[in-house]
Chains A and B, each alone.
Chain A
């Protein structure tokens, strides 16, 4: 069984379009994350949700809007896509237990904006 799944795996779209990426985890974790990994492989956190509540919101353009309908799902909607949004987006989850909680990553969504 897939622990953290994302759809789609690849997304190619034109500048200015709006797109969504979906994430689901079946690990029973209470915290989910979105990360962006750019062409230089730098993995940077964008958002984190704990039990459907937004707890981390890094400096991300407001064109990016996360939504967590329940603690097993965290979706990312991106409006007015720009060339610089091209990257791999990873969803991850963990169980918040204070220190030392491992994050489990999804397979990633490679977004290419043309």
Chain B
């Protein structure tokens, strides 16, 4: 079983719509969760982190966490063509006191003008 699962997409949404990206994870003790954005040919960059159950908003981005369901999502409101990228869910786990981050396979988002 994969440790972090995402739908690979592509997820196509029209400009101005809400894009909803989902991620499930298997490690029940995980406490922090990250969303990275990766444009084609570029490196991943962190856009959101969330540690507590519920919602966390940052501009047009909202991360939602449900630890009981082992589920984290990212909502992008008023989607723009510049949001077209692959979104990676990342979940740290701990081994020997050190953090190892496991990335999902990513969901490719296409925002259509």
* Chain A residues packing against B (C-beta within 8 Å): 40-45, 48, 50, 55-56, 90, 94, 96, 99-108
Nearest CB in chain B to that of A108: its residue: B43
Question: In the bound complex, do residue B31 and residue A106 qualify as a contact, i.e. CB atoms below 8 Å apart?
Answer: no
Binds A, one of B53-61, B69-77, B91-99: B91-99
Question: In the bound complex, do residue A100 and residue B98 qualify as a contact, i.e. CB atoms below 8 Å apart?
Answer: no
**Contacting residues, chain B, for A56 (C-beta < 8 A):** 95, 98, 100
Q: Check A100/B32 contact, CB under 8 A, given A41-B86, A50-B98.
A: yes
> Which 6 A-B residue pairs are closest in the complex by CB-CB distance?
A105-B43, A43-B103, A100-B32, A55-B98, A99-B32, A102-B46
7 A-B residue pairs with Cβ-Cβ distance under 8 Å, sorted by A, are: A40-B105, A45-B101, A56-B98, A96-B98, A99-B92, A106-B43, A108-B42
Q: Is the interface of B mostly helix, strand, loop or mixed?
A: strand
Contact among B31, B98, B103 for A48, CB-based, below 8 A: B98
Q: Tell me, in angstroms, the Cα distance from A94 to B38 when the chains sit together.
A: 18
**Contacting residues, chain B, for A44 (C-beta < 8 A):** 103
Q: Check A99/B51 contact, CB under 8 A, given A41-B86, A105-B44, A107-B43.
A: yes
Contact among A50, A55, A96, A100 for B51, CB-based, below 8 A: A100
Question: In the bound complex, do residue B101 and residue A103 qualify as a contact, i.e. CB atoms below 8 Å apart?
Answer: yes
Nearest CB in chain B to that of A53: its residue: B98
Nearest CB in chain B to that of A55: its residue: B98
**Contacting residues, chain A, for B51 (C-beta < 8 A):** 99-100
Nearest CB in chain B to that of A35: its residue: B103
Nearest CB in chain B to that of A98: its residue: B99
Contact among A55, A101, A103, A107 for B42, CB-based, below 8 A: A107
**Contacting residues, chain A, for B22 (C-beta < 8 A):** none
Q: Tell me, in angstroms, the Cα distance from A28 to B37 when the chains sit together.
A: 23
Q: Check A105/B99 contact, CB under 8 A, given A41-B86, A41-B105.
A: no
